[in-house]
Amino acid sequence: MVIAGIVAVVIVVLALALVHLYNAMVRGRNLAEEAWSGIGVQLRRRHDLVPSLVSVVQGYAVHEKDVLSAVSRAREAGMKAEGGSARDVGEAEKGLSLALGKLLAVAEAYPELKANENFLQLQHSLTSLEDDLQMARRYYNGTVRDQNNRIMQFPGNVVAGWFGFRRMEYFELSDESEAAVPEGYSAK
């Protein structure tokens, strides 16, 4: 009778631990998905800002068609990557960051453009968006790290295997030098 009671208690404790681990993994996955949607919002805001920036620069830098078209192509690639994996979106956005950096570097050669109030406001908005995107990326990567820890540590790895939880991808740039703020961005 005592042994049956002990076995029953052990089974109940194991079942509660299983439920707790499962719920923690579901909660972690949901937090990471929510964080990913935050990145998506910032990327959409960034994509919406690019045509205005290109239009203002185009008015002053008519001889820079290659740079302007590169920014437009990079924006298009970023928009097409939406809904893809973190790696695919990261690669597309890395291309857009590089193209925007070149665009802002070109703007340095046009004093009238640098003094244009609309350009300055767009540049400030872009800088603010980049900061917001960086915060969203940090939050997402933190939730992914926590979820991956749950999935990879024992006994979570067993529970994850039973219920099909998989490691999540981080949203990061592939090279440290690319993580630097592109030349031309100002910290206002």
Listed by start position, the domains of the chain span 2-171
Contact criterion met (CB below 8 Å) for 145 and 167: no
Cα–Cα distance, 82 to 126 (Å, whole number): 19
- Reported as a pLDDT band with limits 50, 70 and 90, residue 177 is very low
Cα–Cα distance, 127 to 144 (Å, whole number): 26
The kind and range of the H/E element at 42 are helix 2-60
Cα–Cα distance, 109 to 19 (Å, whole number): 62
Question: What residues have CB less than 8 Å from 63, skipping those under 6 apart?
Answer: none
Assigned token pair, 105: 């570097």
In this prediction, residues 144-160 reach a mean pLDDT of 95
Quick: pLDDT tens for 105-148.
888 888 888 888 999 999 999 999 999 999 999 999 999 999 99
| Whole-model pTM over 0.75 | yes
pLDDT of residue 183: 52
Quick: pLDDT tens for 18-70.
999 999 999 999 999 999 999 999 999 999 999 999 999 888 887 788 899 99
The CATH architecture that domain 2-171 belongs to is Up-down Bundle (1.20)
